[in-house]
Amino acid sequence: MIHLRVVSPAEVTEALVPVLRAEPAVMNLCVLRAAVSNPDGDAVQFDVPQGLADEVVARLRGFGVDQRGSIVLENVDAAVSTLADRVSARRVRFQQSMPVWVEVEARIRRGGTYPPSWFALLVIAGLIGAVGILTNSQILIVGAMVVGPEYGAILSLAFGVTRRDRTRVGRGAAALAVGFGLAVVGALVLALVIRWADQVPEAYALGIRPVSHLIDSPDWFSVIVAVLAGMVGVISVTESLSSTLIGVFISVTTIPAASDIGVSLAFGDGSQAWGSTLQLLLNVTVLAGVAVAGLPAQRAIWRRAARRQRTRRLTT
């Protein structure tokens, strides 16, 4: 269930409230006249099932509430109400799982912000990955994948492409370039220090590098995994499946590739560094491409489901 807090100009409220009252799925409607300032207006609050939130927001925008007032959405974790149970029971299959696209877009926009901590996490992930490569530790490689925040930037870039927002695309691309560049430099410096201190693990020094060889050898399986991970990523973000999203982080070779570039350069292995560069570019490109195609496709699928739902509601 979604709770909406709306600030509506007084003249808009007169037309808006009857529309909301006529919708059986609108519950707990509360109107407080002249109760809000900055922006000035009436406070209108109500609850709707998740599957109807986008439709209601579209109606509010039709009244110009988003321009002259405000619309705030909040998720309701639990509602103890017989009315709410009855309304939910009348909903069609899967409606409670329908994404609220206003929230989805806000989530993607948040992922497209790049404070200093974002770059710090990318560098730290690169350092963890470098240690994992030197010690042939797959556990540390997985840890580095989880720490890395790059998927939010990739998704924001893809969202910018679908909206033809050059500024968002440019910011995302620049953040990824700078962030991965810093991760490579961090891994390079760490590997040089370890080499200077003569602390290189024996297996790595002898050329026994199974983790590194896996990273710097992109093939068709890399493409398949990146495509599947990209699909899971789109579904996870649109449907708020945070546990599934973690699987995306540990499925794609982005941070490990950046780490391997730095480590390979520190040990003078140009071919290995080049292979990891290709791996990094492949994964970022495929993830972005899948998101560019997947976000509109996911929205189209749910829109079709919503239209079928409205048709059923009108015929019953």
300 Cβ neighbours under 8 A, 6+ residues apart: none
**Amino acid identity of 25?**
A
* Separation in Å, CA 153 to CA 80, 131, 168: 39, 25, 10
For the entire predicted model, the pTM comes to 0.83
Vertex 101, ends 86 and 28: CA angle to 5°?
35
CB proximity list for 204: less than 8 A, separation 6 or greater: 133, 134, 135, 136, 212
Among 39, 19, 17, 40, smallest CA distance to 30 is for: 17
CB atoms < 10 A from the CB of 101, how many? 18
C-alpha distances in Å from residue 250, one per residue of 118, 136, 288: 18, 16, 17
pLDDT of amino acid 5? 93
Contact 88, 47 (CB under 8 A): no
- Taking only the tens of pLDDT, the chain with its 316 residues reads 889 999 999 999 999 999 999 888 889 999 999 999 999 999 999 998 887 888 889 899 999 999 999 999 988 877 777 776 676 666 555 556 678 888 888 889 988 999 999 999 999 999 999 999 999 998 999 889 889 899 999 999 999 999 999 999 999 999 999 999 999 999 999 999 999 999 999 998 888 888 888 899 888 998 998 999 889 888 888 877 666 666 666 667 799 999 999 999 999 999 999 999 999 999 999 999 999 999 999 888 887 876 776 666 555 5
Token couple for 92: 């069609």
